Structure formats: C-alpha cells, structure tokens
Amino acid sequence: MNADLFGAPAVPGLVRLPGFALAEEAALIEAARGLATVSPFRVMLTPRGGKMSAAMTSCGAAGWVSDRRGYRYTPRDPLTGQPWPAMPALFSNLAARAAEAAGFTGFAPDVCLVNQYGPGAKMALHQDRDEADFTAPIVSVSLGLPAVFLWGGMQRTGPIAKIPLASGDVVAWGGAERLYFHGIAPLKPGHHPHLGPLRLNLTFRRAF
Ligand code: MD3
Ligand code: FE
C-alpha cells in the first residue's frame, strides 16, 4: 500500500492520501473556525520560555498544552478554564475513514490539535511523545496554504525528506515511524480562497 509501482517503499511508515479531505475542505475550515470561537488560537510558550510560531487550539476530551511547566494534555483549556470544545463529528468521521484507508483499523482519536500557520510560521523538528499509547497512529489533515513537511528518523540529526502538503491532503503515521522526528518548514506567503494567508493542520491523536 505504501509502495511505488516498483514495490519500493516510497516513505516507510507514512501513508499519504492526497486530496482525501478536499471535498470537505470548506466544511472543515468552517468547523475549525467554530472551535476557535470557544477555545481561541493562541501562541504557546516552550518550556524554555520561547514563543512557538504556530498558533494552536484543540478539541476533544483533552487539548495539548505547552508552557514553562512542560508539554502535556489537559482536560480543560487553560485560557478559558472550560473543557475544550467537543470534537465535531465531521472531524472524527474523517479521521477514522482516513486511518482505515491508510491501513490502520479501529482508530478512534480522543484529541484533535489544530495548528494555525501564518506567513513564515514553522514547526521545529520534534517527536510527538506526550501520548499514552504509541501503537495508535496519528492522522493529519492539511488545509489552506501549502507547506513542506520535514521527515527525519529516530535521531534529531540525519537525512530529512521534504514532503509537500497541499490543502485536502491527509497523511497517517504508525508503527515505528510514529516516533520519528518531524517538522514544518517556514510557510511561504500566499493566498488561499478560504483561508487567505493561513494554513491549518488538524492532527488527530489517541492521547489516553
Ligand atoms: C509524524 N504538526 O502538531 S502534522 C504536531 O503540520 C505536528 O502542523 C505538523 O507535527 C503540522 O505535532 C505536522 C503531521 C504529523 C503530526 C504528528 C506526527 C506527523 C507526525 C507524529 C509522529 C510522526
Ligand atoms: Fe508533531
């Protein structure tokens, strides 16, 4: 499934579903805007006190938070003191269908982290290791301006593959590659019909 015509793995552990969410693009963006009216996008601090460059919010049973105390999932939005907004059925259904199509059966995400990138915003190489169970895959949905996904290995240093992601593209990660270093190159300025100068990324996770 994750192989080219000659049977060689294209990018091991990473399953691309180009355009999988394109038919729902406008509805997904609308739903993300709705979430942001309850739990607004905010720029978080890293544990060392630096500012991240993407703005973030979450929906589902918990949300991902970073501050001087570290990285973690919290049941309430620290900005509002209220629970994070529920995950829209549109989101959870899409994530489950995409995971199935990518070969990961029975994926039931409990968290969706929503990242918003403006011009020049990036995400440095990192691992996602705040989740309880690394056997569940991660599903990501790109919306708005295109970006370049950076894909490394188990070490922070080493070769980095550059994978273009366009609006409506879905990617799923599982197995050993679940813990690979990855990031997003600085967003090139542009204009998207629904999102203007922005890119949104929905990452669906099983955090608990
Ligand atoms: C590969 N977000 O939120 S999504 C993140 O486009 C994150 O906003 C990027 O990395 C973005 O943590 C990339 C793709 C992604 C997310 C989680 C992964 C790829 C992953 C976890 C393990 C391996
Ligand atoms: Fe990540």
Domain positions in the chain are: 18-38+51-129+146-205
Tell me how far apart the alpha carbons of residues 197 and 135 are, in angstroms, rounded to a whole number.
35
Model confidence at 1: pLDDT above 50: no
In this structure, which ligand is nearest to the CA of 173? 1
- For residues 64-74, give the mean pLDDT: 96
Å from CA of 129 to ligand 2 middle: 9
Tell me how far apart the alpha carbons of residues 45 and 68 are, in angstroms, rounded to a whole number.
7
* Residue 2 or 112, more confident: 112
Å from CA of 171 to ligand 1 middle: 9
* Residue 131 or 3, more confident: 131
- For residues 17-32, give the mean pLDDT: 98
In this structure, which ligand is nearest to the CA of 200? 1
Model confidence at 11: pLDDT above 90: no
pTM, rounded to two decimals: 0.94
- What CATH class does 18-38+51-129+146-205 carry? mainly beta
Write out residues with Cβ below 6 Å of ligand 1.
113, 115, 123, 128, 138, 140, 173, 178, 180, 182, 184, 201, 203
